[in-house]
Each structure stands twice: as C-alpha cells, then as structure tokens.
Structure 1
Amino acid sequence: MIHSSAEELEQLEIELLLEALYRRYGYDFRDYFYESARRRILRRIQRNQLKSVAALQHAMLHDETVADELLKDLSINVTEMFRDAGFYQTLREQVLPQLSTEEHLKIWHAGCSSGEEVYSMAILLTELELYSYSRLYATDFNVAILERAMEGICPLGEMSR
C-alpha cells in the first residue's frame, strides 16, 4: 500500500478537479499556478460549505452554477492600461510598422478582463493612424467582467497611471 501525505492527496484531488473541469466544460486550468488555484478552490469549498475538493468536484460536474462560480474564482481579473510597457513599446516600434501596409488588421484579446488592455491597444492604433482599418475583438469567459468591459468606461484613476 502506498502512503501519501495529506498535502499530496489534496494536490491529487485538485489536479483531478481541474482535469474534470477541462473535460466537462472545456476550460483548461491544468497548468495554472498551483498555489493560486489551490487558494481559490479552497475558498470556493468554504463558500459552498463543502467538506473536500472531491465534494466540490462532484458538485461542479453535476451543477453548472457551481462550475460557473468556480470559473469566476479561477479567473484573474488583474489588468491596467498599458500593463506591460515593454510589450507595447515593442509592438509600437517593431510589429505595427510592419503591419501598416496591410489592408485590414484584426486583433483578438482573449481573456480581456475589464478591457483596459483592449483600450490600450485602441489608443496605440489611433496614435499610429492604424485604428480606422483595424478591428479589435475581445472575449472573456467571465460574463460579468466582460459586461463591464463592454461599457467602455475606464476609471479616471486607471488613466492617470
């Protein structure tokens, strides 16, 4: 018989939960940073007044509402205007000039959160006079946060950064 510590068993249960989430609903968090996933999963267990990761897995597999709650817990909604300055500088200086001869630009922001990075892209494209023939797509599985992005309102505090 193989003996495993409580931590090893918990990790196995979390891995199985994430595998089940992927196989049942198609959302892949299997390579997600483990400690972050663990904290969020344990918080969901507590909120749902469940006894274990296995109980959460069972509930998630049989109740889409529980799955939606877990997805919201696992999603990271950290974003800000021009969040990665080096990325935008490289985009401005090296990538977009090469694309300026294209007839149309289509840019997809997957996991757009509340939209600040999409707004940043729109500003950059406008500054480079590329916006008029660009189409920006923004998606996120967290409907509530996507609705906030669709409002097109960015808090003034975000703009001052």
Structure 2
Amino acid sequence: MPLKTGDTPEILDIELDLLLEAIYRRYGHDFRNYSRSSLERRLAQFQVDSPYKTYSELTGRLLRDSLFFHKLAAYFSVSVTALFRDPFFYAALQEKVLPLLRTWPHFKIWHAGCATGEEPYSMAILLNDAKLLNKALIYA
C-alpha cells in the first residue's frame, strides 16, 4: 500500500504483520511466511477495489467480517500455473529436502489446489531425475 503522510516503512511492516496475524488467529489461514513483496502487490491491487487505504483499516474490517476476508483471500491465490513455476522453490527442494527424502523408505506429497497439473508433474519430473519417484506417492 502506498505510504500515507507520516507512515514509514517500519510502520507499514508492523501493520502488515498485525494484518497477517489477525487473519491467522481469526480464520486459521497462515499467510505470515508468504513472500512479503507478493503480499504487498496483491494488497495494493485489492486496495484499488476497496475504500481501505491502510493495513490497519483492513485489519479492523477483517476481524469483524468473514465475507470481506474471503474477498481479500481471493487476491492472495495464485491463478497461474506452469512447469517449474517457482525455480527458487525447486532449487531449495533439491538442496534441502531431497537429501532427507533419500533416507525414507516411502513418502507422500500433496499438491493442494493445483489447477491443471503442472506443479505435481514438475514434482514428478524432479523426483524421477533424483531417482526418488519410485518411493513417492503424489496427490494432486
């Protein structure tokens, strides 16, 4: 959201933290570890369609209006899909997770909300290349 007179980046960070904490505690949806820049872009887009100009104003409304929360949450959803859509995710998966999975006899992976299958297919390709696909059960 754009800075209002007197707002500092530190104030905006605190307000965003409080907004995300309110969503988590009130509705159980945890966006606290989402990409900050992505959330800020999506909230700015939401702001275009709403009268709320600060995160604090949004927080107050969200705490009292579940329908309003669902409108906002729709802006957080990723509506695009592609093979290996998030290269940083797959790099971290290869570096940090696959070595651990090699030690397990079997494991399950769930891709919730995948639209047309590119994400689970990307996972299958990655696991196949790592010689781990035979240990995996992928839900999509």
Looking at structure 2, the residues matched to 125 and 10 of structure 1 have their Cα atoms a distance apart, in angstroms, of 40
Looking at structure 1, the residues matched to 48 and 121 of structure 2 have their Cα atoms a distance apart, in angstroms, of 36
Q: TM-score, normalising length from structure 2?
A: 0.61
Does structure 2 conserve the Cα–Cα contact (< 8 Å) formed by 1:45 and 1:56? no
Per-residue CA deviations over 1:15-70 (Å, capped at 9, x if unaligned) read 21111011111222223333332222232233122243222112212222221222
* Gap change, CA 1:62 and 1:37, over 3 Å in 2: same
Q: Give 2:43's aligned residue.
A: 41
Q: Give 2:119's aligned residue.
A: 117
* Gap change, CA 1:123 and 1:59, over 3 Å in 2: same
Per-residue CA deviations over 1:98-127 (Å, capped at 9, x if unaligned) read 58xx5x652222x55423111334567789
Does residue 6 in structure 1 map to residue 7 in structure 2? yes
Quick one: percent identity of the two aligned structures? 39
Does residue 137 in structure 1 map to residue 129 in structure 2? no
Aligned-partner SS, 2:13? helix
Q: What residue identity is the alignment partner of 1:120?
A: S
Does structure 2 conserve the Cα–Cα contact (< 8 Å) formed by 1:106 and 1:134? yes
Q: 1:65 aligns with which of 56, 67, 72?
A: 67
* Gap change, CA 1:126 and 1:39, over 3 Å in 2: closer
**Equivalences for 1:12-161 in 2 at 5 Å?**
12-83=14-85, 84=87, 102=105, 105-109=107-111, 111-114=112-115, 115-122=117-124, 135-138=137-140
* Gap change, CA 1:45 and 1:82, over 3 Å in 2: closer
Aligned residues: 128
Unaligned runs of 5+ in 2: none
Q: TM-score, normalising length from structure 1?
A: 0.55
Per-residue CA deviations over 1:68-87 (Å, capped at 9, x if unaligned) read 22222223344312444x75
Looking at structure 1, the residues matched to 75 and 6 of structure 2 have their Cα atoms a distance apart, in angstroms, of 26
CA RMSD of aligned residues (A): 3.9
